[in-house]
Each structure stands twice: as C-alpha cells, then as structure tokens.
Amino acid sequence: MAEPAIQATGLTRHFGDVIAVDGVDLRIPHGQIYGFLGPNGSGKTTIIRMLCGLLTPTAGEVSVLGLDIPARAETLRRQIGYMTQKFSLYDDLTVMENLQFLGRVQGLNRSGRRKRIEELLHRYNLVPMRERLAGAMSGGQRQRLALAGATLHEPTLLFLDEPTSAVDPENRRDFWEKLFDLSDAGTTILVSTHYMDEAERCHQLAILETGHLRKQGSPETLMKELEQRVVEVSGDNLRRVKERALQLPRVQSAAQLGLDLRVLLRPGPGSPVDYLQQALAGEDLSFSLARPNLEDVFVASTDARVDR
C-alpha cells in the first residue's frame, strides 16, 4: 500500500530529564495488527499517546492516516478508537449508559446509536450485562465493554494499550479472536503488550526497550533472522550449570524452563553445541539445538538478562 496508516520519524519525548521515547521510526501499514512488545517503562504508552495526539512530541514528525499530528489531532479523533491501559469508562454508569454517552459524544444520531449499540452488545457478549454498573463487572467483561466503546464509531484505526493486562488467559484468547474479526473488516490495529504469546499473534511487531526501537518485523521473520543460537541443556544440577553458563563470554542469557536450561548464545565461530559442551565439561549433561522463539528474540534484542 502506498501510504502507511502511521508514519513516524525520529519520534522523541522527554519528561523533564527523563527520555521516555528516543528517536523512534515507525511505518505501520493499513489493515494490520501491529504490536508493541516491551517491558514496563519501555515507552509503549508514551508512543501511543503521541500517535493519538494526546502528548506533544519533543521532537520528530508524526503522520497518522495522512494527518499531521498533533496539529490535526482534532480531525484524527473522529477516525480513531483508543482503549486505555487503565479502564477509563465510568464505573458508576451502566453498560448501556456508558455506550450511550460515548455514542452521543461521538456524534451518532439516535437511531444509529441504538442499532450500533445492540450490534456491539451482541458481538461482545454484553447483552445480559446491559443494566450492570461497569464498576461491578469482571476484568474480562470490562475489557469487552472498553473494546465496544472504542469501536462504537467504527474507527479505521484502533489503539489498544495493554488491553489484556487484567484478563485471564481464556478471555485473552477470546479477545484476540475479536481483534482478528476487526482486522478482517479492515481496521488497522496497534496493540501494546508485554505477553509473548500475544506478540506472536501480531502481523508486525516492534520490540521496544527504554524508549528505543530495538527490532521491527513480523514475528516469523524476527525468529528466523535471529543471529543468536538457542541450546537446550538437560541434566542434573541445572541451577549450578546455569551459574557457570552465565560466566561464559558467548552466553547472553540462561533461563530454566521446566527440566531444561535454555541458553542463548551470541554468534561466534564453531557449533554452539560444541562450544557449550567444552565450556561446561565435567557435568553430566545433554545438549540440543533449539528453534528460537519470540522470547529469545526479545531477550536477544533487548539485552535483558533473563536469569531467573
């Protein structure tokens, strides 16, 4: 597609002395589910707020749906939906009242509102909760209500800031089904997360750390193109083995996963298995090369030592 849904160059934001986002370049095509993967404090929320026009960038250019942001943020607001990290509908209003309020604020007329709200109540399984106060609902229900609220005016671009942080795995899977439905209908979705399984579902992914964009690409490509190698080590005394492995220059991280120790090795000469076998001589261990997963990509690109 010629023009991307979101284009940002050199996006930077300071809060006093703190640099929350530092020179991020983004190019997000239409119709995709684009994920921001990063730990807390990596700048995910700040970037989303800047793309919505809620925060003014300290430096950098932003264009969303062809509109210069923040200059034309008001025009943009009619075309985007935003689901905040913290539930931001009114706890002391019912499901219906919340949706009615948003519908009126978004400028839907009475009949359009009624039709659209009914449609959303059915789609997001909220029909029995109609008269329930939002504050009295479970995390999953509130999240579905928030999604209904964010998509009420049928935005072409949807921002979801850690939408599943307060939701159990079952509801999370269900929620992603809804996102794929929206994506199939042509909505561009930008979603931030710190869950690997969610990140893996995205069409495209940006890995963020301390305000920097570390890697960008589809999860498959990122996993395939990983320069680091992953070796699974099994045997006895894995905790001691892990301590030893972490002393080695080529080992970037080592994490125990069930009965295995998953070791991430920086690129180097020779086979990674041989390297480890020699370095960890004297232990009764077996080694096998493993296929990198997204967590390996994340650890490799963020330089975070997973040593738990």
Partner 1 sequence: MSTLQRIGAITGKELKQLSRDRLTFGMIIMIPLLQLLLFGYAINTVVRHVPIAVVDLSGSAAARAITEQVRVTQVVDIVASFDTPAEAEAAIVAGEIRAALVLPENLTQRAVEGEVLGQWLVDGSDTMVGSAILALRNMPLHLEAGAPAGAYRASDPSFEVALFFNPERRSEVNVVPGLTAIILTMTMILFTAIALVRERERGNLELLITTPVRSLELMVGKLVPYIFVGLVQISIVLGLGHTVFQIPFNGDMGSLAVITLAFIGASLSLGLLISTFAKTQMQAMQMTVFILMPSILLSGFMFPFEAMPKAAQYIAEILPATHFIRLIRGVFLRGADVSQLLPDTVWLLVFTAIMLAVSTRRFRKSLD
Give contact residues for partner 1 (rule: CB under 8 A). 49, 52-56, 70, 73-74, 77-78, 80, 82, 84, 86-93, 97, 100-102, 104-107, 149
Q: Name which of 2 and 18 has its Cβ closer to partner 1.
A: 18
Positive or negative torsion for Cα 45, 51, 54, 57: positive
Q: Minimum distance from CB of 77 to partner 1 (Å)?
A: 5
3-class SS of residue 75: helix
Q: Name which of 14 and 203 has its Cβ closer to partner 1.
A: 14
Q: Minimum distance from CB of 76 to partner 1 (Å)?
A: 9
Q: Name which of 113 and 250 has its Cβ closer to partner 1.
A: 113
The residues facing 53 across adjacent strands are none
Q: Name which of 158 and 264 has its Cβ closer to partner 1.
A: 158
Q: Minimum distance from CB of 82 to partner 1 (Å)?
A: 4
Of 17, 5, 28, 27, nearest to 58 by C-alpha is 17
- CB atoms under 10 Å from CB of 229, counted, come to 23
Q: Name which of 145 and 297 has its Cβ closer to partner 1.
A: 145
Q: Name which of 182 and 294 has its Cβ closer to partner 1.
A: 182
Question: What residues contact residue 154 under an 8 Å CB cut-off, 6+ apart?
Answer: 116
Q: 267-275 long-range CB contacts below 8 Å, 24 or more apart?
A: 267/227, 267/228, 267/229, 272/229, 272/231, 273/231, 275/250
Sort 169 into a burial class: Cβ within 10 Å, 0-12 / 13-18 / 19+. Answer: exposed
Of 274, 279, 200, 264, nearest to 231 by C-alpha is 264
Q: Name which of 110 and 224 has its Cβ closer to partner 1.
A: 110
Q: Minimum distance from CB of 146 to partner 1 (Å)?
A: 9
In Å, the largest CA–CA distance within the chain is: 77
Q: Minimum distance from CB of 121 to partner 1 (Å)?
A: 19
Q: Name which of 51 and 230 has its Cβ closer to partner 1.
A: 51
Q: Minimum distance from CB of 248 to partner 1 (Å)?
A: 46
Q: Minimum distance from CB of 86 to partner 1 (Å)?
A: 4
Listed in sequence order, the DSSP H helices in the chain are 44-52, 73-76, 95-105, 110-123, 139-151, 169-184, 196-201, 219-224, 238-247, 272-279, 294-302
Q: Minimum distance from CB of 213 to partner 1 (Å)?
A: 22
> Could you give the CA distance from residue 113 to residue 87 in angstroms, rounded to a whole number?
22
How do the residues of the chain divide into helix, strand and coil, expressed in percent and rounded to 5? Answer: 35, 30, 35
